[in-house]
Amino acid sequence: MNSEQLHTEIARLAEAEFRTWRDLRDKRSEFHARRGEAALEAASGDAGARKRYSEAVASMAMLEDIMIGARARREELLKQALERECAELEREAAELERQADEIARRRMKLEAELREVEGSPIHIRAAQALSSRLRNQADQLRSQAQRKRAEGPPASGYAEAGSLEELVEAILRYPTIVPAIRDVEAWWDALSRAATGHGGPFEAARLVWRNGRIHNGCSFVLAHGHLIKLEHTWEGSTVTRAERTTRTLAEIPLPHWIAGPQRPLPPPRPRKPPEVYRLEESGKCSKCGSAVSALYVSAAYGGPGLCEPCYERLKVPEPRMI
């Protein structure tokens, strides 16, 4: 499975999981009501109520299992893609090592032939032998594959939206291991309640996750000039914190592990003006009147063109009486 097929399969899983989550959210209250009524009827001795209760529980459990299965399938696809990428790096490393061994064998053969001609051992020495460079490249590729395996499949990303449905859909379409949707719902509900105290529903939200979990320090919502986020306390609980802000969502930088350092480009270095402009044209010196083929115009003094001797005298200041 190549990269395009992987993204296609993840998009298919994202659509199925999103559709299942929306059905579960819309029918959750109905499921709870049916289950509660069936439980009360079953407690009173109704034989058919047990069946209705089991059907209600099974319907809700089936939707939850579909979401769990889609998440597990996503993780499996990403792990398989990572393993294929590492195997390709190791294959390239093995090919480079094969080429290095072939070059080493040819060099040994040449050394043997020269030894027969000269009658004494001959060693070919090179400052940067091609075989050594190939082996170094192979070692780098193997180290890269080992590092990728240690890091695991990608599990960091972010999503921005103005509603819960848009946020969940954007998260599921991200080609990484994403946080559980129930955790996203809990995060959204907590900040929605906090935003109510600052003037009503919020305008935009950004959810950032790292290692497959929500990163509360970088996730926030904007509501009427307030930036609201969740924070962990020393007791292990979470509290909401709001601060005034005039920035828009696009003006708030992303964390460095997603977008890299958000530093402005350094200003261009000022160009140093030349000390003299040499004009390749025939003319007369404005000081001595001699005909020349090149005129010199001082950048510091300006003025009309001078011949080279007059310009050199102009550079050296004349002595003056004090």
Counted domains in the chain = 3
Q: If DSSP states are collapsed to H, E and C, what string results for 128-185?
A: CCHHHHHHHHHHHHHHHHHHHHHHCCCCCEEEEECCHHHHHHHHHCCCCCCCCHHHHH
Q: What is the pLDDT of residue 299?
A: 53
One domain, residues 187 and 139: no
Q: What is the pLDDT of residue 124?
A: 62
Residue 82 belongs to some domain of the structure: yes
Residue 161 belongs to some domain of the structure: yes
Q: Alpha-carbon Rg of the chain, whole angstroms?
A: 37
pTM of the complete model: 0.65
Q: What is the pLDDT of residue 261?
A: 38
One domain, residues 133 and 196: no
Residue 321 belongs to some domain of the structure: no
Q: What is the pLDDT of residue 274?
A: 47
One domain, residues 9 and 61: yes
pLDDT averages per 10-residue partition of the chain, 322 residues: 79 87 80 71 69 75 85 90 92 93 86 79 66 89 92 90 89 90 90 76 87 90 87 79 86 77 43 50 75 66 68 60 45
Residue 269 belongs to some domain of the structure: no
One domain, residues 141 and 14: yes
Q: What is the pLDDT of residue 288?
A: 83
One domain, residues 109 and 241: no
Alpha carbons 203 and 221: distance in angstroms, whole number: 7
One domain, residues 11 and 143: yes
